[in-house]
Structure formats: C-alpha cells, structure tokens
Amino acid sequence: MTTPNTAAPSNAGTGETGWSLKTGRDRTGFFTFTTLVCRTRVFCTCRRTSKLSPVCSWTQTPSQRTGRLLYKVMRSLRMVSTWRTAPVRAAPTGLRSGSCAWTALYFWRTDWRGSNSPACPGLTTERDSSITLILSRRARATFQLPIATWVRDLESVCLSGTETSTNLHQKLYYHVLGTPQSQDVLCAEFPDQPKWMSGAEVSDDGRYVLLSIREGCDPVNRLWYCDLNDVPQGITGLLPWVKLIDNFDAEYEYVTNEGTVFTFKTNLDAPQYRLINVDFAQPSISQWKELIPQHDKDVIVFATCTYSKFLFVCFLHDVKNVLKMFHLSSGEEIRTFPLDVGSIVGFTGRKKDSEIFYSFTSFLSPAIIYHCDLTKEPLQPHVFREVTVKGFSPADYQTTQVFYPSKDGTQIPMFIVHKKGIELDGSHPAFLYGYGGFNISITPSYSVSRLIFVRHLGGVLAVANIRGGGEYGETWHKAGMLANKQNCFTDFQCAAEYLIKEGYTSPNKITINGGSNGGLLVAACVNQRPDLFGCAVAQVGVMDMLKFHKFTIGHAWTTDFGCSEIKEQFDWLIKYSPLHNIHVPEADGVQYPAILLLTGDHDDRVVPLHSLKYIATLQNVIGQLPGQSNPLFIYVDTKSGHGAGKPTSKVIQEVADTYAFIARCLNLSWIE
C-alpha cells in the first residue's frame, strides 16, 4: 500500500488555494518528490540524489506586504543537514538530511516557464535553530512572485554532523532579505542563561514581535514582546523587549490580538489549558480576563482566529480530537464540527481568511480534508479531498478504545485495531506502541506498515496512552515524570497484560515498540519484565539515564527525567536506567525477548552512543548465556538522524527490515 500524503490547503494570498502533496516517490536525478499545486500551476522541490528528503509546505503573505526574518542560532556552524526556506510571498520548502537540526536557507526566483535565478544570498544556522518570518509593510526587502527553492548540490554542504557537545547560548538575529548574512543584527541573547532557548513570532497585525523563552521541555515559558513602533528607524541592535512574563510558572501561547488586547492559550491555574485576554496597556495579572475556561476533562490542543471574529479551538477528548467554534469577542461557543474517532493533523485559516481547511486522520484513514466557507449560513463543512488506498477497505477492520487498570488502579486508555471477526484465543501477534513523556499526546494516526502487520501478518495493533503524555493535561504529564517515571513503565506492562488477559495475544507473541523517549520505555520494560514480551524494537532510545544531559540538547530533558548530579534524582534514575539495569533473569526458563535497536550515526538529538552502549552491555551480560536464544541486534543507519526527513527509500528499507525481524523472531507467516 502506498499512500500520498496531502496536507490541508491554505489560501495563497492571491485568491488561489494550494496544497502540498508528498508523492512517495524517491528517485535520483531532478525528479519531483514533493509538489505544490496552485490551480493549474505546480511547484516542485527537486534533488540530485535520493539521500535527502524534501519537506514542503506553503504559506503566502498578503500581496501588499514584504518579508523580513528573525532566526535563532546556537554556537558556530559545523554541519548543514536540515534545509528550510523562508518565504517572501513564496513557499517555505525544506530539505532534511537525517533529522539533524542544522538549517540552511536558499532563495531562488523562478517564473512559470521554469527558469531560475538566485533571488538573494542564503542563510546558514546551527543545530536546533529555526526561522521566523516577520511580516511588515516597512520591510526593506521586496520580492515579486513567484519564488521557489532550488538547491544545486546538497552533498557539498553536508559535513560530519556527529558532534555530541552540549547545545548552549542560543541567539536571535534579524536578517534583511537580499543582504549578506554578515550584516545580520543581533536582537536577543541570554549570556547569563546559556540553556535558555527562544522562539519568535509576529502578531497578526504585524506590529508586535513575541519572544517565547524556555529552559527545558516543561510546558512553561517566559513571554517578552517588542512593539515595532518603538523602533521607527528599523532594527539596528538588541530590541527593547518588554518582559510581560518573566518566570517559568506557566505556558503562554499566542493566539491572536485586537490592538493591545492579546489572546493566549495558557495552563496557568488550568492543567487542561484555557484562553485568556491580556491587555498590554494594562498588563497586571489582576487585569487579565478569562475568555474560554478550561474544560473539566478535555485538553485544549490549539486555538486560532479566522475571519477576524471566530476562534477555532481543538480539544482532546479521551485521546480523540474535537473541533469547536467560538466568538472571539465573548468566548461564547457557536458550534461543534463533527469528527470521527481520530486526529486533526492540519488546520489552515488566517485571521483575514473567510474559509478554513482542516485535515483529519485515523488508524484506518490516511487523510480527509474538510473545507468550510465561513460566509455562508448555515456553516457546513464538506469533504474537499479524501485520500484512499487502492485495495484497502477500512470496513474490514475494527478500531476499539478500551480503558484498562494500571497497578495503582488508574484507568489507562488504549486503542486496539484488528481485522473484524477475529477469535480472542491468544493466538494473534500483537504490536504494542507507547511513548509516555514530555506532555506529548499519542493520538490516532495512519500507518501503512502497522496495517500491513495487521492485514498480512494477522496481527493486533495496540497504542497505549500511558501517563507522562499530554492526553489529559499537565496532571497526566506530571504523573509520569521525574520521581513518577516508573508509572510509565508500569502502565505499559499492564497494557500487555490486558491484551493477554482479554485473549488478543500471548506473551511470546507481543512486540513492543517506541522511539526516543519511547525507546527508553521499551528498554526499561524489557529489563523489568523480560518474561512479558516476545520481541522489542527500540528506536533512537535514551538508554543512559546518568549521562544523557551531557550531550547535545539532553540538558533540556532534565525537566522530565531529572539529573543524576542531584542525589535525590540519581536515586530514582539509577533504578530504571536501561543501561544500568541489564541483568540475568532469575526465573528458570526466562530469557530476554528478541531485541532490535535502531539508531542513526548522525542523530544529534539522542546521540547514538545510547544505543551502542546498551547493545554492547546486553551482549556482554546475557548474549553468551546458554538460555539466551533470542537475538540481540542493532541497526545503525548511516547518514541518518533522529528519524524525520528520511527519503522514502530509507524509510522502506528500515521498515522492511524491522518487520522482517519481528516476523522471523515470532515465527509469523505472510497472509494474502
């Protein structure tokens, strides 16, 4: 099954509508991989080799505006492996190599006949950097449509990318398009706070620049702003930031503003989040007003303003997205948009737009894009585009959500997908996925490889929404972090026990899988309950919990994990650190399950030393035991990183090898 990935369309600012389409092709030479369609016109990102994967999206600035850039950098450039373009009334199109967090921008002018010429000098930044387009009528660089990105020789700029040094001292720069990068202006830095990380965005009216500052991965941030009217001569140095919020007590996310009255999504006194109004002219907390209160149970995922007067708010209700519409002025609810069990994975509609598009996905549906014209009453969304898979009938499968008890009695939600009519006799192989960390919610998503496991290997897919994620807000997150991290592992093990008890599978037929923090989850559970699983696949996992904070961006994870340099936190980390808890099973006849670790040699998020040390220790401690017949393997991908941005060929190769490993270890047969 091959599935084109179509994103929700957005208005191009010229009266036309465009959408992005990932074709799934992966060829050498100048061939399209990602296509932008605008009526009958097509933008393509191209490349010479199959080693780099383009990622393409499209936004368009109003025709009367021009562009200027704020971007943040860390340290000095040593490798470029993440490619993004920043638009000036054009498409922000990116190319990633591996998923290392280095950034380069190139601007090219093209006409509809396909001729190309450089529009202005490019930019390069360091690891964990990003670009923010600041729109303003006063910008000093003007470009005419159309502009596209064209990179002639990607190989020549991809260097080593295997550094493990700590990422510190992020800075924010101002760049005028058409000028050399050497003339960029430093407008924010934090020399006394080397671990601070920031992101800038512009208000809907183009007047204010908002700076969100974080120190770790907790959902908290400082919020500073600059009124661009206070710099009438342009940005020539450090901006005069007003420190609206200068602590890390809560999270504030910009939604929109009407003059000096700003609407923010916040978890201040609201673990499920709420919307508040803050008047910059009267910024005292006592003057803040609640616009939409937090729900008793549901979590606000995002909020956006469209058609100048409406707020569209996405909620998470028992791990299923719900889309509601409110009045911006009063916060009064207008209506709920109907959705099946699944996730909203794309929403477009700016404040001045009179229409919205949103993309819906589920375990059995790749994408359904809905469109709604906000000028027509009654409001009625209709299907704009639906992606279907040839030869696949969703009606043949069943998705069920269950709630099972963890060891302490907490009810944990879990989705189970399988063919209709299966017998619950314990004979089916199961693929159990989990994450459980960093306030990240694992909502329903479409996966070709997992459906192949269900369809052709007779499997059962289970996704456990364990504590540590954001499925029920900050309370759920805190129940699985720091000293409570063991709850994540216990919840996951109880998920496997539930599947066994209900007859879906048996211990020797369960494969557990997770990546990054989920890789930690898999390895910790294998150490604690080797008898419960038949196979374990841990992707780019955090395995050394005593030293993770010493490499690249690891210091930011201490908000979720803790730090071994603090004795109290060392005491809980040493109890579950995968690297330090490998042991010979005590019970007779028990061995470690078949284990496959996956990592990339250029992963600068979770550096590969984690997986390398874990597999080496595994093989040293239990690899030669007479009773250990299950294989202990590692898959090291070259010129690859933390996962995102891989070309289709590499994705297919890795997925095929992974499921072949599972099938071989569990003695599964292909079913047509």
Asked whether 167 and 261 are in contact (CB, 8 A), the reply is no
Q: Determine whether 286 is an active site residue.
A: no
pLDDT tens digits for range 62-89: 333 334 455 555 433 222 222 233 333 3
Q: Determine whether 564 is an active site residue.
A: no
Element (H, E) at 626: none
pLDDT tens digits for range 158-202: 344 566 888 889 999 988 888 888 888 999 999 999 999 999 999
Q: Is pLDDT above 50 for 90? A: no
Per-residue pLDDT at 86: 34
Q: Is pLDDT above 60 for 7? A: yes
Tell me if 653 is assigned to some domain.
Answer: yes
pLDDT tens digits for range 113-140: 555 566 566 666 555 555 555 444 333 3
574 lies in which domain range?
Answer: 394-666
Element (H, E) at 487: helix 486-501
Q: Which of 20, 441, 516, 564 is catalytic?
A: 516
Tell me if 558 is assigned to some domain.
Answer: yes
Average pLDDT of span 273-277:
99
Going by C-alpha positions, the residue among 335, 330, 386, 328 that lies closest to residue 362 is 386
pLDDT confidence of 646, banded at 50, 70, 90? confident
Give the DSSP letter string of 532-552: G-SEEEEES----TTTGGGST
Tell me if 387 is assigned to some domain.
Answer: no
Final residue before a domain boundary, out of 202, 229, 245? 202
Going by C-alpha positions, the residue among 514, 531, 566 that lies closest to residue 545 is 566
pLDDT tens digits for range 548-564: 999 999 999 999 999 99
Q: Which of 295, 418, 610, 642 is catalytic?
A: 642
Count of domains in the chain?
A: 2
Final residue before a domain boundary, out of 149, 167, 202? 202
Final residue before a domain boundary, out of 202, 229, 249? 202
Tell me if 159 is assigned to some domain.
Answer: yes
Tell me if 267 is assigned to some domain.
Answer: no
Tell me if 222 is assigned to some domain.
Answer: no
Output 4 or 664, whichever has higher pLDDT.
Answer: 664
Q: Which of 491, 603, 604, 637 is catalytic?
A: 603
Going by C-alpha positions, the residue among 499, 410, 420, 487 that lies closest to residue 462 is 499
For 148, the 3-state DSSP assignment is strand
| CA dist., res. 426 & res. 287, Å (int) | 60
Q: Determine whether 269 is an active site residue.
A: no
* Rg value, the chain, Cα: 25
Residue 610 belongs to a domain with what CATH number? Answer: 3.40.50.1820
Tell me if 97 is assigned to some domain.
Answer: yes
Tell me if 325 is assigned to some domain.
Answer: no
Percentage of the chain surpassing pLDDT 70?
76
